[in-house]
């Protein structure tokens, strides 16, 4: 049984590929709004489009979360869920 996530915002780092991208798609399928953060902009935009095709809302934010303060410009209000899938 699917649960509805239509009232939550999920911030996912490393969202352009691998575990991060798969996680973003799963949240989008459940109706969540996802903020996708990663360095490669082209792959990130494709991931955002995939999420929207699956029923979620997506915001692609090209950024390097390894740089101190990089997230200050995009994190906005409080998110209920933060998924970090960035591995060094």
Residue 82 forms part of a structural domain:
no
Cβ atoms within 10 A of the Cβ of 29, count? Answer: 15
pLDDT at 34: 93
Band the pLDDT of 1: cuts 50, 70, 90: very low
| CA-closest candidate to residue 52, choices 28, 30, 36, 23 | 28
Q: What is the mean pLDDT of residues 11-35?
A: 93
The domain in which residue 64 lies consists of 9-68
Q: Please state, for a pLDDT cut of 90, what percent of the chain lies above it.
A: 50
Total of domains in the chain: 1
What span, in angstroms and rounded, lies between the C-alpha atoms of 55 and 84? 22
Q: Are 80 and 6 in contact (CB under 8 A)?
A: no
Band the pLDDT of 6: cuts 50, 70, 90: low
Q: Say what the pTM is.
A: 0.76
Residue 61 forms part of a structural domain:
yes
CATH of the domain at 26: 3.40.50.720
Q: What is the DSSP letter of 17?
A: S
More confident residue, 13 or 77: 13
């Amino acid at each position: 049984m699917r649960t509805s996530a239509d009232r939550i915002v999920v911030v996912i780092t490393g969202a352009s590929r691998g575990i991060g991208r798969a996680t973003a798609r799963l949240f989008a399928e459940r109706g969540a709004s996802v903020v996708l953060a990663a360095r490669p902009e082209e792959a990130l935009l494709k991931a955002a489009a995939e999420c929207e095709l699956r029923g979620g809302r997506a915001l692609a934010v090209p950024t390097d979360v390894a740089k101190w303060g990089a997230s200050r410009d995009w994190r906005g209000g409080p998110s209920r869920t933060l998924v970090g899938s960035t591995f060094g």
